[in-house]
Amino acid sequence: MLTFKRKSASDIAFDIVNYTLLIGFTLLILYPLYFIFIASFSDPNRVSSGDIWLIPRGITFEGYQRILADGSIWLGYRNSLIYALLAALIGTALAIMAAYPLSRKDFYGRNVLMLFFAITLFFNGGLIPTYLLVKDLHMMNTIWPVVLLTAVDAFVIIIARTFFQGLPEEIRESASMDGCSNLRYVWSFVLPLSKRSLPCLCCSRS
């Protein structure tokens, strides 16, 4: 038979304070978003005068009409979609190609290479060296600095390597006995078995 322990006065006081703080923090986070939403279709004059608090006043959609009529907004959406797709595809492909050999116990020097990848999680070249690199590679005013400079992500490589290490070693041994190359093994076995992790890798890249 289930028995429920009655809360003490201190536990009740703690719960009251805890939930009060949580509700307060939640309102502090959500209210600015709510205000931006209602202000977006309220009268701009009433917004600037501080007349808008909880409900929209002088509802108008002129702001949305002006934004949607501007062609640059659609160009921005298109570029964002292209950047996200290219970053996801290229980044995922590079992560798989780097993570698979690093997951192999017979790959010489894998720990040293993994250390080099891990260092990039804490340090980077900086803004000026990155700018000089982009300039020397003649990638100024192109989409490639946005896509390529962040294509290799050590965190994604670690995730992929960890998953590949969990695959049964017997599968690779059987494939190698049948004359399967490493590239064929990755394409025919590793990728199909990694269907659950691939969406996570793509999302983390985009």
Residues 19 and 62 placed together within one structural domain of the fold: yes
> In the structure encoding, which two tokens stand for residue 184, read together?
């064929």
Residues 58 and 106 placed together within one structural domain of the fold: no
- Which of the listed residues 20, 38, 68 is the one where a domain comes to its end? 68
Q: How far apart are CA 188 and CA 186, in angstroms?
A: 6
Residues 97 and 111 placed together within one structural domain of the fold: yes
> In the structure encoding, which two tokens stand for residue 150, read together?
């962040």
- Please check whether residue 3 lies inside any domain of the structure: no
Q: How far apart are CA 148 and CA 86, in angstroms?
A: 9
Residues 34 and 57 placed together within one structural domain of the fold: yes
- Per-residue model confidence (pLDDT) at position 24: 94
Helix (H, G, I), strand (E, B) or coil at 49: coil
Inform me whether the pLDDT recorded for 206 exceeds 80: no
Residues 148 and 93 placed together within one structural domain of the fold: yes
Helix (H, G, I), strand (E, B) or coil at 4: coil
Residues 112 and 169 placed together within one structural domain of the fold: yes
User: Within 10 Å of residue 76's Cβ, how many Cβ atoms?
Assistant: 11
Task: Return the top range by mean pLDDT from 89-98, 162-171, 177-186.
Answer: 89-98
What is the tens place of the pLDDT at every residue in 43-94?
888 888 878 888 888 888 888 888 888 878 888 888 889 988 888 888 888 8
* Residue with tokens 């190359």, as numbered in its chain: 181
User: Whole-prediction pTM value?
Assistant: 0.64
- Please check whether residue 4 lies inside any domain of the structure: no
Inform me whether the pLDDT recorded for 21 exceeds 60: yes
Tally of domains within the chain: 2
Range(s) of the domain holding residue 83: 71-205
- Please check whether residue 76 lies inside any domain of the structure: yes
- Please check whether residue 1 lies inside any domain of the structure: no
* Contacts with 18 (C-beta within 8 Å, 6 or more apart), sequence order: none
* Contacts with 42 (C-beta within 8 Å, 6 or more apart), sequence order: 52, 56, 57, 58, 59, 60
- Please check whether residue 136 lies inside any domain of the structure: yes
CATH number of domain containing 177 = 1.10.3720.10
